[in-house]
Structure 1
């Protein structure tokens, strides 16, 4: 059965490789709730298709991989105290997909875009890539697994810098701390990402998937995701969590009260 996906998320099969594109360049490839539903359907199809061995995901255009959740789209849900997170913590992005996933990061990769990236196995970035977590600036927290994954993947002090200051880092620093695998010129990005995918496809697919599954399951992250969801809920139910996205939408500085 053919998938019905929104035009803002495309899914193409090229031999053993699934090519996925976040296709909303006019909005820095930020997510809408409709896009997340389509993305989940595409990844379910990829996971179930025995002829697909590796996925490559990128963002349309040259300016952004993904700028995270569109706060204007999410504002009604956040105002109701919804963290926009997955109800089942085990379904954090890619948590139960053991086929390799490669990111081709072209430009801005911030907020939910960086959370998305943390669920991927190989990360190739263009020279203009930027990484960051701006959620606290808007009175909310990244509730898609970042509090667990980021300190597992990079040094603690740098993870705290990103989480607490809302500052961004460039591609070179991201490479130096081990957040990404390689930096390439923008016009070589997809060529490089697909070369990595082809290289992985030369290996035994069962062995590759098992290697990833052992590594992921050994982290035992599911209980930690439950903790993140429970604790982040108190932030999303606060007055500050309503004020931050409202200020973002109105293009003004938030007026926080700590309540």
Structure 2
């Protein structure tokens, strides 16, 4: 099996880190495979949602594999470009669910925070160990953490390197749901079912709008015209939603 498995189940793509012996630390080969996965997901109109998961109970991902040295052979960002750390940034257009267990630290924490929904096993621990071990560089994880966690919680994690457990992460709003490890895959699928019940094109337009003006003042976001929303207005799914509403039935989405 590859160190990154990519499968498609109906309208859901599954991206699975499969290197548990290294706590799913991301190698250059894994970066390449992840880039292929994100590119396929973005380009396939029949994929409406993606789940990112990892093999083994001990760790979701501990970041980049540095066993062969810290230097990377390409400028591609960590996680196949998804994180934006250290190179070109690939933005995933489709909703992404991360299913996290065990150690989720450093670049692995960054990778999880790239998701739109995070479900965590009660074994999960989130952390930024960089300063604790004297490493700091192109560290995008600090920028995401201080935006996705309460300020003082994020800064305490950054400055001490201490980890927080799943229950605290849920309390701080970092994760959507905490479950037993045995229920993690089923819980991620439950969220995927909820997402794929909605219009895929509307979801993609909503994600693009929400994230595209996240760092801007509210008045700027409200005055912005979003190409994805304008394109959705002319789609077959938009018309299907209107017809289904008039006929009092569930819409049948096609992603077109």
TM-score band w.r.t. shorter chain: 0.7 to 0.9
The structure that has the greater radius of gyration is 2
- TM-score when scaled to structure 2? 0.76
Aligned length: 208
Structure 1, gaps ≥5 residues long: 1-5, 222-259
Which protein is richer in helix relative to its size?
1
Deviations 1:200-256 (A, max 9, x none): 1010111111111111101249xxxxxxxxxxxxxxxxxxxxxxxxxxxxxxxxxxx
Q: Secondary structure at the match of 1:71?
A: coil
- How many angstroms apart in 1 are the aligned matches of 2:52 and 2:44? 17
**For 1:165 and 1:11, how far apart are their aligned partners in 2?**
36
Q: Which runs of 4+ in 1 moved over 6 A?
A: none
Task: Provide the secondary structure at the position in 1 that maps to 2:146.
Answer: helix
Q: Which of 194, 200, 213 is the aligned partner of 1:199?
A: 194
Select the structure with the greater relative contact order (CA < 8 A; seq sep ≥ 6). Answer: 1
1:11 matched to which residue of 2? 6
Give the TM-score normalised by structure 1. 0.75
SS, match of residue 97 in structure 2: strand
Name 1:234's counterpart in structure 2: none
Q: Which residue of 1 aligns with 2:242?
A: none
Q: Please say if 1:119 is aligned against 2:132.
A: no
Across the aligned residues of Structure 1 and Structure 2, the Cα RMSD in angstroms comes to 2.1
Superposed counterparts of 1:120-199, under 5 Å? 120-141=115-136, 143=138, 145-199=140-194
- Which blocks of at least 5 consecutive residues in structure 2 are unaligned? 79-84, 217-256
Match for residue 245 of structure 2? Answer: none
Among residues 53, 57, 64, which one is paired with 2:52 in the alignment?
Answer: 57
Check the 8 A contact 1:111/1:142 in 2, yes or no: no
1:108 aligns with 2:126: no
1:53 touches 1:99 (CA, 8 Å); kept in 2? yes
**Cα distance, 1:194 vs structure 2:** 0.5
Change in 2 beyond 3 A, CA 1:38/1:124: same
